[in-house]
Structure 1
Amino acid sequence: MTQPLTPACWRASAAAALATSLFAAPAAFAQTPSPKAPATITVQHAKGSTVVPLAPQRVVVYDLASLDTMQALNLPVTALAKANFPRYMQAYADARYLPAGTLFEPDFDALSQIRPDLIVVAGRSAGKYDILSKIAPTVDLSVNNQQLLADMQRNVMALASLWGKQAQGEQLMQRVRSEVESTRALAQQQAPGLLVLAISTMINAQPPGARFGLLHDVLGVKPAIPADASKPRGVPMKMEDISQLNPAWLYVIDRNAGTGSTTGRDGKPVVASTELFNNEAIRNSAAGQQGRVVFLDPQVWYLLGVAGPQAMLQTTAQLKAVWSPR
């Protein structure tokens, strides 16, 4: 027969029950599911690979060609390097996009306020990859002009995959490849051309393999001068050299128009390419007489290096227009 508990025994039993419940509680809490870790994706880029959260919310961009891609795919941008944007990217000059430095120098104070979950660098900003990757996941979307379309494909699909827009990215690149192919076919019907980069009155020809040699290497324009591996940034030329060469086509990139510079390093006003090449020697050349002096979009060429999909489409459209029968 069970004996009724005495007051002392009751107190001991209650204390034991309370102790049991207290020690059992942590086990119950330990079994509660922890907050789900954010999904991530591994992005392949010019410096290797980086684990990046899917659909990053605070994105900082230090490259205009990458920004070109993000605009084309309607991807979010929080902050960016301020620059002389081409016409089709003027929306990024709006104050709603936070300033984060320049294409060469990040603003680290701004980055500490933004707390990015993705930083994009390339080209001019690629040298800051190591220090920026210590702040947030960073990808380097630099391109090699000798494999420009392959690198552009990699970069477009890398950005598209972060927001689940692979189908749109592939569709965009299919259009780019198609336009490049048709441009190359049309280029083969044209006489050889000379591409020059003008920095005020300084002129550098850009043959195949040079910094802007993609006009020949990618777009198929026949070169008026051969490649020169010893001069990857171009071959210095004077106006008399161009006159003697007498190219059938003359393509010009105005560096200062691209950057928006109005004075040179010497403090003197720069000379616009439209003025520089408006002279008797050029007017009397084969290109001048046929109206074949073509001023390429300076921002697209100098700042973006034609490395963004929209930049490439704008370039193919301009070339097709100037090559069309009049």
Structure 2
Amino acid sequence: MRKIILTGLLLAFVATTSCKDKVKESAETEQSNSVEKLVVQHHLGTTEVVKNPKKVVLLSYGVIDSFDKLSIPIAGLPKGNLPGYLSKYGNDDSIVDIGNLMDPNFEKINELGPDLIVISARQSKLYDELSKIAPTIYMDIDKDDYLGSFEKNARQLGELFDKEIEVEKELMIIKSKIAKIKQISENSHKTGLIVLVNEGRYSAYGKGSRFGIIHDVFGVKPADQNIEVATHGQSVSNEFIQKVNPDYLFVIDRGAALKKNDLNTAAFSNPLIEKTKAFKNDKIIFLSPDVWYLSGGGLESVGMMVDEIERAL
């Protein structure tokens, strides 16, 4: 009789334990299934991402400034050579320094265990390797559709982090300012030339280039319609600048962006450039190199770019 009772108790214990395990397993499965995920399509593929990811690693200054504008926490970013307007992140000990923008520290990223990694063109070759660590999405600007790709990126972030209302508010402000700038440009005969200066050497950029937003979005008429569309621009001289004679000369100083030097204003004080309408009318405009060269494409940086052009015209 005692043996029967003990056997019965043992069977009851096993059954109870089994039920508890099944309930626990069911709860875990239900919890897993309740996690909302989004499928993000981007230039390098399709990535499934958990909505509202907690740990995010960013490898794009433009995306960092969008996170900043939307008050979204960042777990890791490259702290070396941050643009000045994002310098506060360099001193934030709660954010892991993941190395160099062009050569991130994979070990640190892996240790961080991110839920999401966001990259741009500078890390496109690292996409497959980074995707092995965490879901990775490519978020950059299409120079052939600057405004469209900028809006798409912003709205993707809004959807991922439940910030749709905030994103639309920022986009509305930016687009309203752009409309005013375009109206000024369209009603003016004045032309502009965009020049990147690098240790005394000039490269010109026109429509469809990395800085083409000035022509393509803001509507400033090009001083030269035939500037070669190339990654590093078209090499030009003082003679070229004098010949095309722009009303506005927009200057981006690469050295000031990378080496944190003072703007090289002296390069544009020479007899040839002094003959241009831009010089005579005090319209040689030194754009913020941190924003235009290092960053751009984010809610904060595009807003700053808009403001600079609005003040210039």
> What TM-score, normalized to structure 2?
0.90
1:25 corresponds to which of 16, 24, 27: 16
Q: Structure 2 CA distance, aligned partners of 1:227 and 1:311?
A: 28
- Residues of 2 paired with 1:230 and 1:294: CA distance? 22
Cα distance in structure 2, aligned partners of 1:308 and 1:163: 16
Q: In the alignment, is the contact (CA less than 8 A) between 1:119 and 1:136 conserved in 2?
A: yes
- Equivalenced residues, count: 305
Letter in 1 for 2:197: A
Percent of aligned positions that are identical: 29
Deviation at 1:14, TM superposition (A): 1.1
User: Match of 1:315?
Assistant: 305
Q: 2:152 pairs with 154, 167, 178, which one?
A: 154
Please, which runs of 5 or more residues in structure 2 have no aligned partner?
none
Shift of residue 168 of structure 1?
Answer: 0.8
- Tell me the equivalent position of 2:267: 276
In the TM superposition, residue 177 of structure 1 has moved relative to its aligned partner by 1.7
Structure 2 residue corresponding to 1:136, chosen from 128, 134, 137: 134
Q: Which residue of 1 aligns with 2:36?
A: 39
Q: When the two structures are superposed, what TM-score results if normalisation uses the length of structure 1? A: 0.87
Match of 1:81 among 75, 78, 81: 78
CA contact (8 A) 2:206 2:228 kept: no
Runs of 4+ off more than 3 Å: 83-87, 227-233
More helix by share: 2
Q: Distance in 2 between matches of 1:137 and 1:128?
A: 13
The structure with the largest alpha-carbon Rg is 1
Q: 1:272: Cα distance to partner?
A: 4.8
Shift of 1:19: 4.2
Tell me whether 24-33 or 234-243 shows the greater mean CA deviation: 24-33
2:141 is paired with a residue whose SS is coil
**1:44 is paired with a residue of what secondary structure?**
strand
Q: Which residue does the alignment assign to 1:101? A: 99
Equivalent in the alignment of 2:68: 71
CA-based RMSD of the aligned residues comes to 2.0
CA contact (8 A) 1:210 1:233 kept: no
Deviations 1:66-121 (A, max 9, x none): 01110110001011012433343222221422210211111012113211111110
| SS class of match (2:209) | coil
CA–CA separation in structure 2 for the residues paired with 1:143 and 1:61: 15
Q: Which residues in structure 2 correspond to 1:219-298 (within 5 Å)? A: 219-228=218-227, 231-260=230-259, 272-298=263-289
Distance in structure 2 (CA, Å) of the matches to 1:83 and 1:172: 28
Q: Secondary structure of the residue that 2:272 maps to in structure 1?
A: helix
> Do the aligned residues in 1 keep the contact of 2:80 with 2:99 (CA within 8 Å)?
no
Deviation at 1:141, TM superposition (A): 0.3
The Cα offsets for residues 49-75 of structure 1, whole Å up to 9 and x where unpaired, read as 212222222211100000111011000
Q: Which moved more, 1:271-280 or 1:99-108?
A: 271-280
